[in-house]
Amino acid sequence: MITETVELHQAFSWICNGCGKRNFERGVNCEMSSEEFQEAKERLGVEPWVEGAMVMAPSKVKCKNCGEAYTTE
């Protein structure tokens, strides 16, 4: 029986152009007040009852295998 829990974090997956290895980068949490969060949900068309976090992709990544660095799209 499983008794421990872990916290999940949203992440982005990408393939290195240099070595072809898959990498994972943790998402960047958007820090905002509850009012800003509600306004952002309205602008994005998210239902008011939906809970969660606003997460952005990192603007730069570096391969953990070969060290190549990239900007992201």
Instruction: Say whether pLDDT at 8 is over 90.
Output: no
pLDDT tens digits along 20-37: 999 999 998 888 898 998
Instruction: Say whether pLDDT at 13 is over 90.
Output: yes
**Coil, strand, or helix at residue 13?**
strand
- In terms of Cα–Cα distance, which of 34, 25, 17, 33 is closest to 56? 25
The pLDDT value given to residue 9 = 87
pLDDT tens digits along 33-67: 989 988 989 999 998 888 888 899 999 999 999 99
